[in-house]
Structure 1
Amino acid sequence: MSSLVALVGNPRGGSRTRLVAVAAAEALGSRIGHGAPPEVVDLSALGPHLFTPGPSPSVEVALELVAGSSVLVVASPTYKATYTGLLKAFLDRLPGGALTGTVALPLLVMGDARHALAVELHLRPVLVELGALVPTPGLALRESEIPDLDRVLGGWADRVAPQVIAQVAAQVTTQVPAAQGKVTA
C-alpha cells in the first residue's frame, strides 16, 4: 500500500477530532500491514488559505496528498447534524473523480447519538461522488467514548480491516493489468 492519510475537518487545532482521526488511522494501519505512521492533513492550519482566491501551495500539497492516498480516514466533528463547512470547502477543491481508487472511511465525532446517521447520509455520499470506494459503514463516535478510544477503535478496525484489505488488493489487481497492456509507439 502506498499511503494512509487521516484528513481532519475540525476548524480548531489540537482537536479531539484530530486525536480520534489519527488514532483510527493508526489502529487501521496496524491491522492492514501499513507500518508507517499515517500522514495527517489537518484543515485547521489550512482554513485561511481555503477561502482566499487563487491557489495556495499548502492547500495544493494537501489536495495532492489526499487524492494520492490508498486509504483515507476522513474525520469531522458533527456540526448542525453534518460535517463541517471547512471539510466541505476542502473537498470542493478536489476535481470530480479525484478519489478514484482510494478506499475512504468516513468518521464523525458527535456529542449526541441522535446524529449517528449523519456519517452515512452526509459524509459518505460526498466521498462516493469524488470517486472513493467506501466499503464499510462510517464510524459515528460519541465524545463520551473518547476516554475508551483504544477499545472502541480496536473493535472498529478489526471489523473494517478485511474489507479495506480486499478493496486495496482489488485496486492493485485492476491497475497492474492495465499498465501491462499499454502499447507504446
Structure 2
Amino acid sequence: MAHVLSISGSPSATSRTTALLRHLDARLTAHGHRVTPLEVRSLPAEALLGADPRHPAIAAAAELFETADGIVVGTPVYKAAYSGLLKSLLDLLPQYALAGKVVLPLATGGTAAHVLAIDYALRPVLTSMGAAQVTPGWFTLDREITVREDGTVAIAEQTADALAQVTDQFSVALGARAVLSTTSA
C-alpha cells in the first residue's frame, strides 16, 4: 500500500494533537499503509527559526515528504491558525513539496470557534504547495481527546466516528492515487 507521513505540528510534549495522530496512524496501518510519524518539535529550533534547509535534520524531514505518497498534517489551533512551529517547517520545504501527494488536514483546539482554521488557514497552504488532493479534514475539540496514564487514547464516540470516516476517505484516496500511478507508468 502507500507510505504515509504523519506530521504533528504541536510544540507540546504532552500534545493531544500528537496523541490523536498516533491513534489515526494505527487505523492507517490497519488499512495496510506504512506510516512514518514526524513531530516537528523534535527538529532543531535553530534550523527551523534560522530557516536552514541544508541542516541535516531539515533535509531528512524534506526527504520524508518527498518519499511519502500521502501526508497527514495535524496541528493545534492558536489564534485561529495552524501552529507557528508547523509553519516554520512548511516554509523550509520546496514550493511544491506536496506535488502528487494526497493530504489529510487535522486540527485540535479548545473552542469550536476555530473549526474553520482548516479550511481558511491550513488548506490554502497545502494546496499552494501542490497537493494533488486535500481530502476533507477534521477539527477536534481538546476535551474530546483523553490520553490515559498508559498512553492509550480515548476519543469521544461521535468524534471517533467522524475521524474514522475522514481517515477512511484519505485511505481510499491514497489507493486511488496508487492505481492511477501504476496505470500511467
TM-score range, shorter chain: 0.7 to 0.9
1:129-156 Cα shifts (integer Å, max 9, x gaps): 11221122x2111011012427456413
Give the partner amino acid of 2:143.
Answer: S
1:97-108, aligned counterparts within 5 Å? 97-108=96-107
Give the partner amino acid of 2:93.
Answer: L
Higher strand share: 2
Correspondent of 1:155 among 157, 161, 172: 161
Inter-partner Cα distance in structure 2 for 1:2 and 1:50? 28
Aligned to 2:19: 19
Task: Indicate if the aligned counterparts of 1:76 and 1:83 stay in contact, CA closer than 8 A.
Answer: yes
Aligned to 2:29: 29
1:110-129, aligned counterparts within 5 Å? 110-129=109-128
Inter-partner Cα distance in structure 2 for 1:44 and 1:161? 24
Q: Report the secondary structure of 1:12's partner residue.
A: coil
Q: Report the secondary structure of 2:2's partner residue.
A: coil
Inter-partner Cα distance in structure 1 for 2:15 and 2:165? 26
Inter-partner Cα distance in structure 2 for 1:114 and 1:126? 20
Task: Indicate if the aligned counterparts of 1:24 and 1:73 stay in contact, CA closer than 8 A.
Answer: no
Task: Indicate if the aligned counterparts of 1:4 and 1:29 stay in contact, CA closer than 8 A.
Answer: no
Number of residue pairs matched? 175
Unpaired runs of at least 5, structure 2: 147-153
Aligned to 1:44: 41
Inter-partner Cα distance in structure 1 for 2:46 and 2:180? 39
Q: Report the secondary structure of 2:85's partner residue.
A: helix
Deviation at 1:65, TM superposition (A): 0.8
Larger radius of gyration: 1
Task: Name the Cα RMSD after superposition.
Answer: 2.1
What is the aligned-residue identity percentage?
33
Aligned to 1:8: 8
Inter-partner Cα distance in structure 1 for 2:114 and 2:104? 17
